[in-house]
Chains A and B, each alone.
Chain A
Amino acid sequence: MLGSFDFDVIRRSLPYLFYEGMTFTLTLTALAALGGLIFGTAIALMRLSGYKTLGRIAGLYVDFMRSLPLVLVIFWFYFLVPYIGQWLTGASRPISVGAFASSLITFIMFEAAYFSEIMRAGIQSISRGQPAAASALGLSYAQTMRYVVLPQAFRNMLPVLLTQTIVLFQDTSLVYVLSIPDFLGAASKVAQRDGRLVEMYLFAAVVYFTISCIASFGVRRLQSRIAIIR
């Protein structure tokens, strides 16, 4: 039965799949994780700040983002951002935002909600004596966060942050709704062009599985190493 399959299509499309598709996927994953971490940390600090209004705004944002299907946000954002850009800049026509920029912004916004919850837990895991000791030495609030609290929170939460990044790596495949050739999109294109759906989707699954598995294994090893240091 396997005789009717043509696995050579994979070999022939490898350069396209990896140079174009995987490069896009990994770039999007890395940038979205970085952006999400930065904005997520900012949101976490807003939620933990003494200012109620600021905390409530941040809380609403997180709840809002977590209550929507990611694919819907990607879709909405892609079609909406040009109009928002037009409205903000007062241009006569909708501003064209590339598919990459649009999906990157979407993922950063979406991931910020998740990363903020992780960082919030990380910050709360630091005993209150630490910021007290930093203040007692004369460090300002910003310095206390930057040099004392956040480095520890980040270190404590690194395994969770990386696990979330692996989820993000898989989620980036949703940009296929925008017809962007990420890894899955590229595989899908080849599959439909050559009529080799089973082979290509099987191969895509194997690649996602392998990368995620190796990454998870790496995170677990890191976790046990951190556990020894503490």
Chain B
Amino acid sequence: MIEISHVNKWYSPTFQVLTDCTTSVTKGEVVVVCGPSGSGKSTLIKCVNALEPFQSGDISVDGTKVNDPKTNLPKLRSRVGMVFQHFELFPHLKIIDNLCLAQEKVLGRAHDKSVTKGMQLLERVGLKEQAQKFPAQLSGGQQQRVAIARALAMDPIVMLFDEPTSALDPEMVSEVLDVMVDLAREGMTMMVVTHEMGFARKVANRVIFMDRGEIVEDAPKDDFFGKPRSDRAQKFLSKILSH
């Protein structure tokens, strides 16, 4: 589904953020990307739907090359759902209009159809009653669930999550993770940048560990948590799992 091969990215000639990153996500797979902050994991996931450009290497999604200038990027992005750390709901639009905007303007769905779809998804994330409110009236956890519903409204073939719970108060983390776990169990292809190792243990198929712009470890979940091969991954795990 997602093929990442030998991706290099520099912010400046002397500052390399991604070094020779190669990995893949197959259909129905849930891949968790973790690593210390500044390790390039968010940058890597943003390269997948071309929100960040990269200088060399190739990424393709469902056979379409992301870094090909001829690729119709809006069309490709409309099939790749993305959830951001800071939710990024559109504050001037009601919740239901947040869900309808791209359905109508990008997919060309009729208004009543996109409203029906939007309401179904809001019900699914448990926020049907909030449809007529504005984003600022919702809690962080609710906003992030709306953001997930907004991405799902486009019927994506794969979902990208960029630290979806990092900006949340601790008591709201689980309501978002629950939605993501359900999604994973339904067979959605997911690439998730997160520090939530409980989530990784529960639903991930593979775990990728990044450090200083490199993919240090790319292993099945049980291998990763059982006996990480690299020192850096061991150190990282001991730090975040020690309490």
Contacts and interface: CB of A to CB of B under 8 A. Distances in A.
A and B co-occur in one complex: yes
Contact of B74 (A133, A138, A152): A138
Interface residues of A, number: 19
A92 to B, nearest CB: 50
Interface stretch (B58-66, B75-83, B178-186): B75-83
B88 interface: yes
A139 interface: yes
A155 B92 contact: yes
A230 B137 CA distance: 9
Given A151-B92, A152-B92, A155-B92, A136 B51 contact: yes
Given A135-B77, A137-B78, A138-B78, A130 B51 contact: no
Contacts, number: 66
B74 A139 contact: yes
A129 B88 contact: yes
Given A136-B49, A136-B82, A143-B105, A230 B136 contact: yes
Residue of A133, A135, A139 ringed by the most chain B CB atoms within 10 A: A133
B84 A133 contact: yes
A138 B153 CA distance: 12
Given A137-B106, A152-B92, A132 B84 contact: yes
A211 B105 CA distance: 42
Interface in B55-105: 73-82, 84, 86, 88-92, 101-102, 105
Nearest to A130: B88
Size range of the interface on B? 20 to 34
Contacts of B101: 137, 139, 147-148
Contacts of B47: none
A88 B51 CA distance: 44
Contact of A138 (B84, B89, B102, B136): B102
B151 interface: yes
A137 B102 contact: yes
B136 A137 contact: no
A86 interface: no
Interface string A137-156: 11110010001100110010
A133 to B, nearest CB: 4
A225 to B, nearest CB: 15
A130 B51 CA distance: 12
B150 interface: yes
B100 to A, nearest CB: 11
A132 B51 contact: yes
B42 to A, nearest CB: 12
Given A133-B89, A230-B91, 4 more contacts: A130-B90, A134-B102, A138-B75, A143-B106
6 contacts: A130-B90, A132-B88, A135-B73, A137-B150, A139-B102, A147-B101
Interface of B: 49, 51, 73-82, 84, 86, 88-92, 101-102, 105-107, 136, 150-151, 154
